[in-house]
Amino acid sequence: MENKLQLYNTLSGQKELFKPIADGHVGMYVCGPTVYSDVHLGNCRTFISFDMIYRYLLHSGYKVRYVRNITDAGHLEASLAGKSKLDQLEPMEIVQKYTVGFHDIMKMFNNHPPTIEPTATGHIIEQIEITKNILDKGLAYESNGSVYFDVEKYNQQENYGELSGRKIEDLISGTRDLDGQDEKRSPLDFALWKKASPDHIMRWPSPWSSGFPGWHLECTAMSTKYLGETFDIHGGGMDLKFPHHECEVAQGKANNGKQPVNYWLHANMLTLNGQKMSKSTGNTILPMELFTGDNTIMDKAYHPMVVRFFMMQAHYRSILDFSSQALSAAEKGFIKLMSVLKDLDSMKTSSNSSEDVQAIINSFYTAMDDDFNTPILLANLFEAATYLNKVKAGSSTISKDDLEKLSKEMKAFVFDVLGLDMVEEAGSNQLDAAMDIILELRMKARADKDWGTSDLIRDKLTEAGIVVKDGAEGTSWSAN
Contact residues for ligand AMP (CB under 6 A)? Answer: 31, 33-34, 42-43, 45-46, 236-237, 239-240, 269-270, 276-278
Pairing of strands 261-267, 270-272: unpaired
Footprint on this chain of Zn ion (rule: CB under 5 A): 31, 219
Residue nearer to ligand AMP on the CB measure, 155 or 278: 278
Q: Which is nearer to Zn ion, 31 or 124 (CB)?
A: 31
Cβ atoms of 281 and 252 closer than 8 Å: no
Q: Which does 34 bind (CB under 5 to 8 A by kind): ligand AMP, Zn ion, none?
A: ligand AMP
d(CA 308, CA 47): 11
Choice between 146 and 268, CB closer to ligand AMP: 268
CB of 265 to ligand AMP, least distance (A): 11
Closest contact distance (angstroms) between CB of 322 and ligand AMP is 9
239 binds, among ligand AMP, Zn ion, none (CB under 5 to 8 A by kind): ligand AMP
**What one-letter code names the amino acid at 480?**
N
Torsion of CA 172, 177, 178, 184, to 10 degrees: 70
Q: Of the two residues 171 and 269, which places its CB atom closer to ligand AMP in the complex?
A: 269
CB of 132 to ligand AMP, least distance (A): 26
Closest CA to 333 of 347, 316, 313, 317: 313
Minimum Å distance from CB 283 to ligand AMP? 9
H/E stretch holding 92: helix 91-108
CA distances from 124 to 182, 273, 396, 429 (A): 26, 40, 63, 50
Say which entry of ligand AMP, Zn ion, none residue 219 contacts (CB below 5 to 8 A, set by partner kind).
Zn ion
Q: Are 146 and 195 in contact (CB under 8 A)?
A: yes
Residue 276 interacts, among ligand AMP, Zn ion, none and using kind-specific CB cut-offs from 5 to 8 Å, with ligand AMP
Bond preceding residue 243 cis, omega within 30 of 0: yes
Q: What is the DSSP string of 215-226?
A: HHHHHHHHHHHH
Q: Which does 65 bind (CB under 5 to 8 A by kind): Zn ion, ligand AMP, none?
A: none
What's the closest the beta carbon of residue 275 comes to Zn ion, in angstroms?
24
Q: Which is nearer to ligand AMP, 5 or 269 (CB)?
A: 269
Residue 324 CB, nearest approach to Zn ion (Å): 33
Select 9 or 46, whichever has its Cβ closest to Zn ion. Answer: 46
Return d(Cα 297, Cα 360) in angstroms, integer. 39
Q: Are 420 and 378 in contact (CB under 8 A)?
A: no
